[in-house]
Structure 1
Amino acid sequence: MKNSSRVHAALFFVALIYAANYSLSKDVMPRYLGPFGIVTLRIVGALLFFSLVSRLVAPQDKIIGRADNLRALACGICGIGVNQLLFFSGLNLTSPISASLLQTIAPIVVVIASAVLLKEKITWPRVAGIVLGMFGAALLILSRNVQAASYPQATLGNIYILLNATVFGLYLVLVQPLMRKYHAFTVLARVFLVGAVIAVPFGWREVLAADYARFPLYIWLEIGYMVVFLTILAYLLNNWALKYASPALLGVYIYLQPVLAVLIAVALGRDHLTWGKAGQALLIFGGVWLVSRKPKVAALLAAPRATVPD
């Protein structure tokens, strides 16, 4: 298999893993395990895995220097601890389709954070994209539909998901310099350690309170899916693919994830796609498309260096 085909396969598999989680998580929480309990199991499981593997593949690699250690601390807070607590709290309260659509706001946050932290220029099309995407997100958050009875706290859940996408977008900007300087397993072991310090105090009671003897087999399988596939495998595939994928290619898979999530949620009867949500999705997708576009001059200069065809 050519390298470009492997990158496409990795990105598609990651999109599918995330898309399925929106519906599968609904089976587990809150009936069998609370959202904070799920987060604790995910983060602790990933921490053990990445810590062990980092010692095997990069035993001499250490994050050094005050600046890099502070950056790793911020990454663990934004990308693991706060990010996961907000995501599962929000998903517990809102519908799978709403949550998956709001997640696509992350690229808009990346552009804003890059402008503030990295002094990158924001063009007028990107400003329009930010406004359009945020308007679509606001409509989605504040909308009330036929599922209001099923999700009476959907507005609060949507706000949590939007905040989750915001801190994750900030994480993507903060972690990039660390990934370029250190081994990926070294960075992931550190950020998951920080995330565990944040998440465990919130979730340990839910982990201990769960009646594991009454868990059906499919619930165990879904929890295993969230720990192994959603956390460990998705992070590994994402970090590998990001080394080769062009920004345009990543944009395609950003759009694919909510599409897959909608198809899975509707197929499993977890959610319904309405015309209102479709219109809000178009606004958000339009905003993400505008902010993901590069200026023509920059695109021409970057084209020869692209390692993967779009």
Structure 2
Amino acid sequence: MNSRGFAIFALFMVQLLYGLNYTIAKKVINENYIKPFGFVLLRVAAAALLFWIASLFLPKQKIEKKDFFKLFIAALFGVVINMLFFFKGIEYTSPIHASAIMTIVPIIILLLSAYLLKEKITKFKIIGVALGLIGALVLTIYGKSARVGDNVPLGNLFIFLNAISYSIYVILIKKLTTKYHPFTFIKWLFLFGFIILIPFGYNELEMVEWQTFTPYITFSVLFVIIGATFGTYLLNPLALNKLKASTVGIFIYLQPVIAGLFALAMGVDFIDSIKIGAMLIIFLGVYLVTVKPKKAN
């Protein structure tokens, strides 16, 4: 397999792992094996350990002192805030809702880039932003979940806040990715994230009754840590090094497809006209935001 082929495979695997994660994480949380904040602390602590072990076998690179504060702030948005909101959101909303809302990340990044980095916004991009937000609002206000105990509007709001936090992280980390090898800053990112998360998740993690875990729940927890955290952060940089940002952006469309099919197969979600309509509006909005304008002859 050539390097581009491997990059596309890596990118597909990232979307597959994220897509499956919505249903797998929700099952662990909703069946009260681990509460959301405790799960986040466990996820980040274990992933941080894996990243630091992996870094022992990779070329060493020193981080400049001035960049440690940037890494700390990036960890706050990219690990702490977004993961806390994601797991709390997954507790209350459905996998299809959550994965559809996450596709508006490119729209949020565009708005932040325009405001913080002074990047130009075209007419098509403005229409795309409006459509994406309308789709997300329709999904939040009118969408329903298959689970009786869910609170869809609240869960969708948390997922939306998670998407905003993740988008801020992408903007913050932009310069660091060109300066350092991904593993150089990811291990620090997760270490800082772990330290910040301790007061949020310690009590919930302490309450976990490990002896009650079934083989499936054990597998699910390991999947979230190794697959949806360590694996995705390992494969993403490999894809980004070989592919254009626009190509990477298009692959986010796969997440709700994978998440939806898996959720339907597992019987934890259902599809209806509201979800399909809202998702199509969001997809159209994201397409208009990510499409490059044709150059005049």
User: Could you tell me which residue of structure 1 aligns to residue 243 of structure 2?
Assistant: 245
Q: Residue 43 of structure 2 corresponds to which residue in structure 1?
A: 42
CA distance in 2, matches of 1:166, 1:221: 30
Matched letter for residue 39 of structure 1: V
When residues 175 and 156 of structure 1 are mapped into structure 2, their CA distance, relative to the original with a 3 A threshold, is same
- Please state how far the C-alpha of 1:173 moved relative to its aligned partner: 1.6
Give me the CA root mean square deviation: 1.7
Structure-1 residue corresponding to 2:198? 200
Which residues of 2 match residues 53-132 of structure 1 at below 5 A? 53-59=54-60, 61-66=61-66, 68-132=67-131
5 Å-filtered alignment, 1:210-289, equals 210-289=208-287
Using the alignment, how far apart are the partners of 1:246 and 1:184 within structure 2? 17
Report Cα offsets for 1:234-284 as digits up to 9, x if no partner: 111001111111133213311111111111111110100111000000111
What SS is found at the alignment partner of 1:57? coil
Unaligned residue ranges in structure 2 (runs of 5+): none
- What CA distance in whole angstroms lies between the structure 2 residues aligned with 1:246 and 1:148? 38
Q: What's the CA shift for 1:76?
A: 0.4
1:7-59 per-residue CA deviation (whole Å, 9 max, x = no partner) reads 11111111110111111112211321111111111100111122233344233
Look up the match of 1:32: 33
CA drift of 1:152 comes to 4.0
3-state DSSP of counterpart to 2:242: coil
Shift of 1:117: 1.9
TM-score between the two structures when normalised by the length of structure 1: 0.91
Q: Counterpart in 2 of 1:307?
A: none
Residues 58, 183 of structure 1: 8 Å contact kept = no
What SS does the corresponding residue of 1:242 show, helix, strand or coil?
helix
- CA distance in structure 1 between the aligned counterparts of 2:276 and 2:77, rounded to whole angstroms: 30
Q: For residue 82 of structure 1, report the CA deviation from its aligned partner.
A: 0.6
Determine what percentage of the aligned residue pairs are the same residue.
Answer: 39
What is the CA–CA distance in structure 1 between the aligned matches of 2:149 and 2:110, rounded to whole Å?
32
Shift of the 144–107 alpha-carbon distance from structure 1 to 2, 3 Å rule, reads: closer
The one-letter amino acid paired with 1:108 is: I
Equivalent in the alignment of 1:3: 3
Which aligned segments of 4 or more residues in structure 1 are displaced greater than 6 angstroms? none
Instruction: Note the alpha carbon deviations across 1:73-129, whole angstroms, 9 max, x for none.
Output: 221011111110010000011111101101111111111111122211111111111
- Count of residue pairs the alignment pairs up: 296
Alignment of 1:13-28 (within 5 A): 13-28=13-28
Residues 28, 217 of structure 2: 8 Å contact kept: yes
Q: 1:72 touches 1:190 (CA, 8 Å); kept in 2?
A: yes
Structure 1 residue 153: Cα displacement: 1.6
Work out the CA distance in 1 between the residues paired with 2:163 and 2:149: 20
Offset of residue 184 of structure 1: 1.1
Inter-partner Cα distance in structure 2 for 1:131 and 1:62: 43
Query: In 2 relative to 1, CA 152–15 (structure 1 residues): closer, same or farther, beyond 3 Å?
Result: closer
8 Å contact from structure 2 (residues 92, 149) kept in 1: yes
Give the TM-score normalised by the residue count of structure 2.
0.95
For residues 258 and 113 of structure 1, the distance between their equivalents in structure 2, rounded to whole angstroms, comes to 23
Distance 2:115 2:72 in 1: 19
| 1:173-212 superposed matches below 5 A | 173-212=171-210
SS of 1:297's equivalent in the other structure is coil
